[in-house]
A = this chain, B = another copy of it.
Amino acid sequence: MSASISPLAPKTTPEVPPVAGVTFATAEAGIRYKGRTDVLLAAFARGTTVAGVTTRSLCPSAAVEWCREVLKKGKARGLVVNSGNANAFTGTKGRDSTRLTADIAARALGCKPGDILLASTGVIGEPLDATKFEGVLDATAGRLASGPWVDAARAIMTTDTFPKLATATVTLDGRDVTIAGMAKGAGMIAPDMATMLSFVFTDAPIAADVLQEMLTKGVRDTFNAVTIDGDTSTSDTLLLFATGAAKGVAPLKAMDDPRAKTFRRALQTVLADLAEQVARDGEGARKLVRIHVTGAVSRKSARRIAMSIANSPLVKTAVAGEDANWGRVVMAVGKAGEPADRDRLAISFGDIRVAAEGMRDPSYDEAAVSAYMKNDVIDLTVDLGLGKGADRVLTCDLTKEYVAINGDYRS
């Protein structure tokens, strides 16, 4: 397993300012790792609202089930995230463990267990011994501060190769409000699977139902438009907290409030930034691949075709081999099950059109496309020539390193 930083990592870690109403601290609870932080505790001001999107897996982790209950009320006072154990497929013990964790955190923060959100990532099938949080969360609560964010982002990593942070500032009612987000992506610890966790915080005062609608709309083109290997974790969780602690900003209570559009635009940049960082840290990734589908019969159809290409092992290995193998792209379009007319298809790598009207573009310059494929970021565009449906998804290449990370060990 390689510990080297992904070559696709951003050159610098962004400076993320404090978010009024949010404090946090990290700790070493020794759940699995030694010598690194593995717990994040965050505390929110009274009145904080929360929205969430969780895995579509029908076998979700105990923490996901816990969050779904808390999200029904839309209020939050605390968040506990641990790495090292996913508390997934742990039966009734898993439920007991989430309850105990929330109890301990609630005592440490002076709130109710039902106001605590939980997320776990790491080993699956191992009961999570929540008694390890006794004492640890109390001590952590004594160190709560408004930064530095990078410590929080590091505590939730499994084998991510870099911490993922993004931020935006937006002016509402003449005042700056802040959005700060972190994510962890396709890390891997034996025996486990990749899990996507992301937490976004703002000091804007936004009602829970509006927050939820913004988040649900926001994920379509960000986190839901990223695929590393087509495998969906039992634990994927994205939570958005709004403390309302920004001074002088009136509560945002409806989507038709004109400020909602302003806020959503900023939120979208943060979600998109984090989602792209997840793709850039895909297991074994050496290239970021942006797949653009145009000319489909609908946006939904474009998404399905883009995902068929993005999840094709043959397309992904070709990109790893720096081969502009458009034949495999045709294959992936053909198997998507969506309307397509072979003889109208056009395919481009970057600005170089390699195929058009159902056959190789006669003017296609092999040397130019070979040079293009050496880039870190590859834009692959497929035009179906049928309608106006368009969409974009992000993925990465499939390298031997992916197989090594996921196969080169024995449990």
The 0/1 profile, CB within 8 Å of B marked 1, for residues 395-410 of chain A is: 0011110111011111
> Which residues in B have their C-beta under 8 angstroms from that of A232?
331, 334-335
In angstroms, how far is the closest chain B Cβ from the Cβ of A17? 37
For A343, the closest partner residue in chain B by CB is B91
- CA of A398 to CA of B403, assembled, Å: 7
In angstroms, how far is the closest chain B Cβ from the Cβ of A237? 14
In angstroms, how far is the closest chain B Cβ from the Cβ of A322? 6
- Give the residue of B57, B324, B409 whose beta carbon is less than 8 angstroms from that of A323: B409
Say if the beta carbon of A168 comes within 8 Å of chain B: no
The 0/1 profile, CB within 8 Å of B marked 1, for residues 207-220 of chain A is: 00000000000000
Does A327 contact B91, Cβ atoms closer than 8 Å? no
Does A331 contact B193, Cβ atoms closer than 8 Å? yes
> Which residues in B have their C-beta under 8 angstroms from that of A404?
400
- Give the residue of B60, B94, B327, B411 whose beta carbon is less than 8 angstroms from that of A191: B327
The main secondary structure of chain A at its interface with chain B is: loop
Please judge, given known A-B contacts A313-B402, A317-B403, A400-B404, whether A190 and B323 are in contact too, CB under 8 Å: yes
Does B335 contact A410, Cβ atoms closer than 8 Å? no
For A366, the closest partner residue in chain B by CB is B411
Say if the beta carbon of A76 comes within 8 Å of chain B: no
Does B325 contact A191, Cβ atoms closer than 8 Å? yes
Say if the beta carbon of A93 comes within 8 Å of chain B: yes
In angstroms, how far is the closest chain B Cβ from the Cβ of A333? 6
Does B409 contact A59, Cβ atoms closer than 8 Å? no
- CA of A336 to CA of B190, assembled, Å: 23
Does B91 contact A358, Cβ atoms closer than 8 Å? yes
For A357, the closest partner residue in chain B by CB is B91
Does B334 contact A57, Cβ atoms closer than 8 Å? yes
Say if the beta carbon of A229 comes within 8 Å of chain B: yes
- Give the residue of B89, B194, B229, B402 whose beta carbon is less than 8 angstroms from that of A403: B402
> Which residues in B have their C-beta under 8 angstroms from that of A134?
none
Does B402 contact A317, Cβ atoms closer than 8 Å? yes
Say if the beta carbon of A345 comes within 8 Å of chain B: yes
- Give the residue of B91, B93, B331, B411 whose beta carbon is less than 8 angstroms from that of A233: B331
- CA of A318 to CA of B406, assembled, Å: 6
> Which residues in B have their C-beta under 8 angstroms from that of A231?
312-314, 328, 331-332, 335
> Which residues in B have their C-beta under 8 angstroms from that of A320?
403, 407
Please judge, given known A-B contacts A313-B313, A328-B193, A333-B58, whether A400 and B403 are in contact too, CB under 8 Å: yes
